[in-house]
Amino acid sequence: MKKLEEYVRSIPDFPEKGIIFRDVTSVLQDADGLRLAIDSMQERIADLEYDVVAGSESRGFIFGTPIAYNNHKPFVLIRKKGKLPCETVEATYELEYGTATLELHRDSIRPGQRVLIVDDLIATGGTTEAMIRLIESLGGKVAGIVVLMELAGLKGRERIKDYRLESAICYPGK
């Protein structure tokens, strides 16, 4: 069987020169790669106690939902601003060229619930930090974070150093 890293397509000089883009679609398009990705992520948090799984739009949905299903936990959607129909809380964060806002239904997390955050990638940590703020604004406690890939050179781990972060693959660069 191939190693998980072998399912990730690396595209040099995208979106700009000097960047190696790590393409998650090549993992998703292969049944063995997808299974290995989910299994690898679950193994890293097997000892973690949590009540709810939360993931951000859209790849957090892809990896978070099967983890929630496999562990008989509810899944909470964290979406881009304006996509959720009920009362929400929001967190705005910085992007390379501007800002973005994430929202969470106000009734999706109860005070004291332990939440596992799932996403495909952590780079600078801005999105993850915004998700943490949303969860904590509702009284939830972040039990841990698991991602498929970590770009260690962008130092996202440092930005969320007070939280447990597990990554199935860690790339040293950007």
Please give the positions annotated as active site.
59, 96
Closest by CA position to 4, among listed 97, 120, 123: 120
Under 8 Å between Cβ of 120 and 63: yes
Q: Is the peptide bond before 58 cis (omega within 30 degrees of 0)?
A: yes
Neighbours of 61 (CB within 10 A): 17
For residue 153, the 8-state DSSP code is G
**What one-letter code names the amino acid at 142?**
V
